[in-house]
Amino acid sequence: MASLLDMRRRIKSVKNTQQITKAMKMVAAAKLKRATDRVTAARPFAKKMSEILGNLSARVGDEFSSPLLTDRGDEKYLVALVTADKGLCGGFNTNLMKATQNFLKTNAGKSTEMIPVGRKGRDFFKRRQMKFVEEYVGLTGTGRIEHTDAVEIAQGIIKTFTEDETIDKVFLVFTEFKTVMSQEVKVEQLLPIPRTSLDETETQSAAQAEYVYEQPASEIFGRLLPKQIETQIYRAMLESVASEQGARMTAMDSASKNAGELIDTLTLNMNRIRQAAITKEIIEVVSGAAAA
């Protein structure tokens, strides 16, 4: 049986761990608040953007052609995977990897390349010999996503897509933030931009008056499309950061709880051992006295 001292040591170490998990939970909670604020702040822009796009899409119709809209076939995929830079956030990264691997499995016939955003995804797929076009690491770690970072990534993707015509489709894998407890991994087609996603708002905007276009509608449309990609990636990154912090908060909360339970059982055991030692001593004293 473990000695009293051993038990004390174990309790102390579990307590230390609990302190760390508690602190991490607090930090995650604070970061989560900021992250969700940013998600909310980014919404008006994205909403307005898809409204205008829907309008323009209906207006320019199918005559307008852009490499970002044209279907190319179904042979080679590029996957942009948004993960966290750090671990200790429950199943957050694992879920992303699983979803991505599932996606790769269902599309096993296609050749796939990847753009990992986030250290965890990069490391995971590097070990699996995935070919990377480009990698972005160290952006999500701070919990502050700058729009310029998203623009850089988006422009990189657009450049790769327009220059390398063998790439047929670009997908974006990220975690959508629903609530603190639930996050959902999403796989969205980024490029070519699905026409349907543009036309979604068409019905409501059709009622609006005809617009005067200062520049040709197709020109504005052409300039809006890359912006739409930027907005989508920015949103994905913001959602991902919020999800990451949410997942970490939940994970650290249950870790603190588990540590508490462990401390309770250990303390009980320790007291038992202590009591056993005392009882043993009393018996020794009593039987010693009886023998004398």
Q: Which of 60, 84, 89, 270 is catalytic?
A: 89
Tokens of 273: 């051992």
Nearer to another protein, 212 or 291 (CB): 212
Q: Is 225 in the site for another protein (CB under 8 A)?
A: no
34 catalytically annotated: no
Tokens of 283: 């018996």
Cα atoms in the 13 Å half-sphere on the side-chain side of 41: 12
Distance CA 234, CA 59 (A): 27
Q: Is 223 in the site for another protein (CB under 8 A)?
A: yes
Question: Are 107 and 187 within 8 A, CB to CB?
Answer: no
125-184 binders of another protein (CB under 8 A)? 147, 150
Residue 273 C-beta: closest distance to another protein, Å: 59
Q: Is 44 in the site for another protein (CB under 8 A)?
A: yes
Q: Is 120 in the site for another protein (CB under 8 A)?
A: no
Residue 129 C-beta: closest distance to another protein, Å: 36
Task: Collect all residues with Cβ–Cβ distance below 8 Å to 68 and sequence separation of at least 6.
Answer: 158, 161, 162, 191, 192, 193, 225, 226, 229
Distance CA 134, CA 160 (A): 9
Among 127, 129, 210, 289, binds another protein (CB under 8 A): 210
Nearer to another protein, 135 or 200 (CB): 200
Q: Is 240 in the site for another protein (CB under 8 A)?
A: no
Q: Is 215 in the site for another protein (CB under 8 A)?
A: yes
| Per-residue mark of binding to another protein, 65-104 (x: CB under 8 A) | ----------------------------------------
Residue 189's H or E segment, with its range, is strand 183-191
Question: Are 248 and 181 within 8 A, CB to CB?
Answer: no
